[in-house]
A and B are shown apart, each in its own frame.
Chain A
């Protein structure tokens, strides 16, 4: 360390850096101005369409034909279908509460305070139990509603949460299995992963929904929804396992050796030394897989489930609403955006948090 410390050089002021990067030559100025004008025009049209010239309530729907803006009447009139699908109308509150509980469970498990096996197990078991009780009913005087009639946002969130919950532990086991010192296990797990990665998700879901009932004994089949979730979770795990394995691969061998010489057993080394570092190493890819999975939940419509996108199609599928699919899709797009954007932001937060002390 030297004795004298110099102050850090002042940071370039914002205005200066803007001038430098956008207006440093006449041509630069021209390009900047043209782009700015185009952007403003686009933004104006968007705001005009969405807010200024739009129609907001169901009663005003007749005005939609004349209006140049969006016809949000369709959302006002049909939002219940979008959010709840085929769920019985009088029971919508159950779906709402279930949805909130499930989102709260997901959010809570993102908080570091919950990161222990016991707390997470309690959290998730409680979360799923309440969700199931509310959605399925059959207790405390709640009428029974079978999974075929679940739909909308609650179904989307449920599928996402269940796939993540089954898929994450499975992916860890697969990743570790593929690195097993026993060649038989490593090969078999490798084969399993590559097999499921090479199939399209569609095929897996179709097989789970339609074909497995012919193969499995009755007591093992479960509801179609659960078969689809299990199939989806295996697909998710096959990909996530490879992400985690990449993270494990990047850990120097000395880490595990240091753990061994301290007397830590295999499970202790895996949970305390390897996995935390593997997650840190491949966090972007891992978060990415969650984002993809959230969006891919929409595929379950083809095996007959009305998750939020399918419910949306139903919302503009009748009578006077058929012309307003754009508004419905924008609305659903916004909902997806809220979830996926939150996920990405959380990923960025985690990356920052886990990088502590790594420069």
Chain B
């Protein structure tokens, strides 16, 4: 198993992995996030959905501080996100993110992609880091691709490497931004399978996706966003079967048509 790193936050068990209170964000004059209030508990899996441009990506990018928010507070693992650099780097180490476009480093092999941050950030030796990397590559079922470059892999394989790369850092929270929407249909399930396995192990997950089957299967809660607001949130059962808000109903009827 990977070595447990010592972190002061390990001791003080916090109930909430993420707490967002009255978060507002603007891109210049454009109000992208409007009074967002969201708690994500430890080990909770939250699926975020909503029409294009509703601010889903922006929301989860705020959690790992790829975007700054202008009003309100965001707490991640008991630490408030502010402009303090040390604290941002520290939080980013505990939060993994998987992107729609994979964003693997094209100039490094799969294995190097997975060991880079372990060695630089966690200060592990190359040997240790490679052992951890191989363990997670096995978990996403592509250990045999370790010496290849990302450009030589299919989209589904690349996304699984991206997930393994994040997991190598032993994150406490995993964020997914439409991890399957850049994939050909036949590759979607191989990535979703990995995510389901991860969810079953108890990882805290916030996942932007329109894969409703996945949401039904693993989500504790589904959140619907529209025009920068959280319009509705509920258990998947209730959310899909008895949507309350008419915008939700409209959205669901649209995606279920396909």
Contact = CB atoms under 8 A, between A and B. Distances in A.
B92 A262 contact: yes
Contact of B107 (A252, A261, A263, A277): A277
B64 A261 contact: yes
Given A260-B92, A268-B120, A359-B151, A254 B106 contact: no
Given A257-B66, A265-B89, A357-B150, A273 B169 contact: no
Query: Chain B: interface residue count, which band?
Result: 20 to 34
Interface of A: 252, 254-255, 257-258, 260-265, 268, 272-273, 276-277, 280, 354, 356-359
Q: Is the interface of B mostly helix, strand, loop or mixed?
A: mixed
B121 A263 contact: yes
B165 A262 contact: yes
22 contacts: A254-B101, A255-B103, A255-B105, A257-B97, A258-B162, A260-B92, A261-B66, A261-B97, A262-B92, A262-B117, A262-B165, A262-B169, A264-B116, A264-B121, A273-B105, A276-B107, A277-B105, A357-B109, A357-B149, A357-B151, A357-B152, A359-B151
A254 B66 CA distance: 10
Interface in B72-116: 89-90, 92-93, 95-97, 99, 101, 103-107, 109, 116
Contacts of B19: none
B71 interface: no
Interface of B: 64-66, 89-90, 92-93, 95-97, 99, 101, 103-107, 109, 116-117, 120-121, 148-152, 162, 165-166, 169, 175
B151 to A, nearest CB: 5
Contacts of A257: 66, 97, 99, 103
B117 A264 contact: yes
B99 A254 contact: yes
B93 A358 contact: no
B151 A263 contact: no
B106 A277 contact: yes
B117 to A, nearest CB: 4
Nearest to A356: B149
B96 A358 contact: no
A36 to B, nearest CB: 43
A261 B166 contact: yes
A262 B116 contact: yes
Given A261-B92, A357-B148, A280 B107 contact: yes
Given A268-B120, A272-B120, A357-B150, A263 B99 contact: no
B121 A252 contact: no
Given A268-B120, A357-B150, 7 more contacts: A257-B66, A257-B103, A262-B166, A264-B121, A272-B105, A357-B149, A358-B106
